[in-house]
Amino acid sequence: MAKPSTPLRPGLDEKTLAHSHAASMGAPAHALHSAHDENPNLQHHFFSMDQQLEASILGMWVFLVTEVMFFGGLFMAYIVYRTMYPTAWVESSHELNVILGGINTGVLIVSSFTMAMAVRSAQTGSRNGQIFNLIGTMILGSTFLVIKYFEYAAKFTHHLVPGPHFQAPAGMEAIGNQMQIFFALYFIMTGIHAAHMVIGIVLMAVILVMAWRGKFGPHYYTPVEVGGLYWHFVDIVWIFLFPLLYLLGFHGGPGA
């Protein structure tokens, strides 16, 4: 059985270990010390800013893979029930507001552009560009949520929320239970997406404060880059949700 690890010897801190590891990897300890002195944003367990950026991006991609698997389960449930109840799916889709959904799609596409410009501004050291584009991204994300609020409010008004008070549209009572499944998935999928959007706006607010303080430039823009990956993922999820939920009536099939 392996023996438990022994504690560090007195005076042997993490920086000393980093220097020792650097030497074992062929990097002079003084070079590592110099790199950390030149850029205080370089964490002690990285050798260079490039390595830190690559590790951060890889970490975000790993996280996004788990998010893809999470949403993948919901999309699979959607596919199964759509195959089972095609008529109910199309009729339920007719009850969604395509115009508001389309506006929200355009809003998120533009927000992806402003997010990309924020990353570019950070890479080039444009503080004003960072601030302008981050604020624009937050405004667009908030606009999306406001529009989604009015969509949800309309569903409550017309009793299209799954549960004891659900009322199928006139003439659709026979498939009312099947329509409830559609709207249950609608609220779950769009609700979780909206929650991700809220998290994204909070994340952008934190990055905005850092940008306002001049934290980012050509040598350090990791938070903006990683935050941008998250924002683009949230936007892409909606790009799939919009046609699958709102445009069924344009795809043809029963009830179209």
CATH number of the domain encompassing residue 61 = 1.20.120.80
Of the candidates 253, 231, 245, the residue with the CA atom closest to the CA atom of residue 113: 231
Per-residue pLDDT at 15: 47
CA distances in angstroms from 192 to 16, 47, 122, 148, 195, listed in the order given: 45, 38, 30, 12, 5
Per-residue pLDDT at 23: 45
Write the single-letter amino acid at 167: Q
Cβ atoms of 148 and 190 within 8 Å: the answer is yes
Q: What is the reported pTM?
A: 0.79
- Tell me how far apart the alpha carbons of residues 223 and 215 are, in angstroms, rounded to a whole number: 10
Per-residue pLDDT at 32: 45
- Tell me how far apart the alpha carbons of residues 111 and 88 are, in angstroms, rounded to a whole number: 33
Domain count, the chain: 1
In a domain, 3, yes or no: no
In a domain, 199, yes or no: yes
In a domain, 163, yes or no: yes
Write the single-letter amino acid at 67: E
In a domain, 181, yes or no: yes
In a domain, 18, yes or no: no
Per-residue pLDDT at 24: 45
CA angle 235, 195, 237 (to 5 degrees): 25
Per-residue pLDDT at 199: 96
Residues sharing a CB contact under 8 Å with residue 229, sequence separation 6 or more, in sequence order: 57, 60, 61, 64
| pLDDT in single tens digits along all 256 residues of the chain | 444 444 444 444 444 444 444 444 454 544 444 555 456 665 555 566 666 667 778 888 899 999 999 999 999 999 999 999 999 999 999 999 999 999 999 999 999 999 999 999 999 999 999 999 999 999 999 999 999 999 999 999 999 999 998 998 888 889 999 999 999 999 999 999 999 999 999 999 999 999 999 989 888 888 899 999 999 999 999 999 999 999 986 654 443 3
In a domain, 101, yes or no: yes
In a domain, 30, yes or no: no
Cβ atoms of 97 and 249 within 8 Å: the answer is no
Per-residue pLDDT at 94: 92
Per-residue pLDDT at 4: 46
User: Collapsing DSSP states into helix, strand and coil, what is residue 84?
Assistant: helix
In a domain, 168, yes or no: yes
CA distances in angstroms from 54 to 49, 221, 233, 235, listed in the order given: 9, 12, 18, 23
Identify the domain containing residue 118 by its residue range. Answer: 51-250
